[in-house]
Structure 1
Amino acid sequence: MGSINKVQYLLAGAVIAIACSQASAADVTIGFLSSQKPGAFSDVIASFEKANPGIKVQAQYIPFDQLNAQVQARLGSGDTSVDVYTVDEPRVPYYAHRGFLMDLSDQRAEIEAASNAAPIAGASYDGKIWAFPFWTTAQFLFYNKDLLNKAGLPEPTGDPAKRLTWEELLPNAKKAQEAGAKWGFAFDQNDRYYELQPLYESLGYGPGLKGDKLLEPALTSDGWVKTTNWYRDLYANGLAPRGVTYEQMPALFSSGQLAYMVGGVWHARAFRNAEGLNFGVAAMPYFKDGKPVTPTGSWTIGVNPKSTKKDAALAFAKYITLNSEGALQASTVAPQPPANKSAFEAYLKRESEAGKTPAFGDIVRYDLANTAVNRPRTIGYVVFEENMNKTFSDIRNGAEAKPSLERAEGVLRAGFGRLN
């Protein structure tokens, strides 16, 4: 090769290298942290990247029970490798208080136009919106038709306005157990405050917190102690299983060992695919002297205020929440009802027509409009939930209700004192 041609060749190569380098530099990569299983968001991320060339999303997966500690450690130290992350609704106040969430007040009009009201409330604190509403939740009373038929029991109605009371359900659960079911009844989230809060709220005993900022524990009233003893008796009397974790509970139901189970609507899809499982869904029961109350509140999408790629982070957050196609696709991850209005209706139609759960949409729509109660909106919720979950675990495994609640109050007072 001549010297002139060689120089031209090298220059051409350099130009190409520079062009490629500039093209690569134009790509922005954002970090997305969630507690879903590895690969869970792969499809919706691929759709986002196709619709937004130049933005790449690097998903990071942390187990649910480690996510809160990871967020506090990483964002608390100024880590900017997390641009977008999933935030459990009741943690929004604390994260906002700590400066972990971008103030989305300038996005309010767009968020309110696209999202249902209940999830917006869950993403808000102190008059501001701090996260994009992502998913919402409701609960079903799942029941095994074969076990009920074996015991000569009628199937519960799918009409949420005619739901069973606890006083009606538990005797039936006992009959099913006597007829051969290994267990009569269980909560799938058997010691998590999220699913147990409605027991107290149904009878008007409150969420266990009081005061202007909900930083005063209120666990030892007669009503709270009485209701906690009711919960304890489920396990002490052998109607519900001890020693089974939330992660193991769906398998207990799908394998035909459990007659009735209160559980999240997201289990329906897996149960439809369970071989030999003949099941139905009804609305979550309530106490006859109270009113129907059901849990709600799921994940939101937060943006790290210290992100150096805010535009890209906001684009991804909006795609999976405010964009109806992106939100519907993301609802297949858990699967939980999307907060997006349009995607929510499409989700209910899809799940109602999927087989075995024709009442799916009616129950979810009714409960979110009439019976759903969010978890307490307080900066102390993280401390509260961690201690309540431990307390409920102790009680279902045999600890006495009143002393356990008294100890929990003491721990919470000390914990709340460190927040003020």
Structure 2
Amino acid sequence: MTRHIFTHPVMQRVCSFAIRRMSSDAKQMKLSPAFFHQCVTDIGVNFFTGVPDSLLSDYCAYVQDNVPETDHIIACNEGNAVGLAAGYHLATGHPGLVYLQNSGLGNTVNPLMSLTSSKVYSIPLLLLIGWRGQPGVKDEPQHFAQGQITPDMLNLMDIPCRILPKDETAVKKVIQEADQHFKTKKSPFSILVEASTFSQYKLPQLQSNFPLLREEALNIVVEILDDTDIIVATTGKLSRELFEYREAKREGHEKEFLTVGSMGHASSIALGIAKFQPHRKVVCLDGDGAALMHLGAFSTVGQRAPSNFKHVIFNNGCHDSVGGQPTEASHHDSFSFGGVALACGYRKTLVAQTTEELVTCTRQLVETPGPVLLEIKLSVGSRSNLGRPTRTPIQNKSDFMEHIGSA
């Protein structure tokens, strides 16, 4: 009798609807950041470090809000975070958790392979990785190549890789598997996090007393630059705002190279252009989180000392594109980009906070032989309707190279 119920046309439609509903419910199900955090602390993971990612923003916000500052460090780059977790293990005997976007895996390869590997020092740590560019999932073009190879990279490094489930029972099993791996293999274990895995957890917005927002400051700076100046813009919302500035002015986008990926490398790209286009000013529009990620680039700029190199850092003290978590540059009383730049050999540094200061300082930036740095101290925030570039990276590169005569 039962066998015939599911062959009846009406029952088939009912079952089909039920299956679709279950599939829809599964997609809508989300994992509580608090539950996941409890699972990892239950196995003795009590130190957290990394670079925030949009897919991990809710969990990163939970950690920022609930873990003591002594047990949580937002690192400048992902390799630094692995080093911090390794130091934590050496000091305590416990594994730490390193969170990152998969685009940052490249920064971790050296310490993972030459420090934490079971073939070297055998140091356990839990890698929580936002899986941008996951095959079959719509994403930005800079994530496609990395997304395709992320599981293979982890496999080649002999690091077990699991996808974080949304079901709590399944989550516990994955964390228990990681715990067993730490006890037996004493090496890294990784968990990939897909889009929309965590339920929402919002941080209170960082407060500052600076009057300008990044987009306002960007518009002021670009208005003052000459049409012949070359612009290299950093990854994140700054490049998106620059693209929309040109759209609003009904201008083309050939005057700037938009560094949509490779966070932290805009100043090095700009330096490479400045060395080989010596008769044109090259202006790097940088962010505080990006500049911190590869701060060593300042030394190369300062010591190569191209007179046409202009460096502008838009410092709102946070990782604005991935959840607003603070950077070390938010400590305005004790941290100075200008101090670092001068120590590395920059000829002059400037700081602006108000519109009037920014206009004056940008004009000085343009007129002063480089390398020269301008730090703009900003409040946090951006438009909710901020769009994304509609030109592909290849189109941007072609337009840019044709504009500067290198195509």
Class of the TM-score when normalised by the shorter of the 2 chains:
0.3 to 0.5
Q: RCO (CA 8 Å, sep 6+): is it higher in 1 or 2? A: 1
TM-score, normalised with respect to structure 1 = 0.37
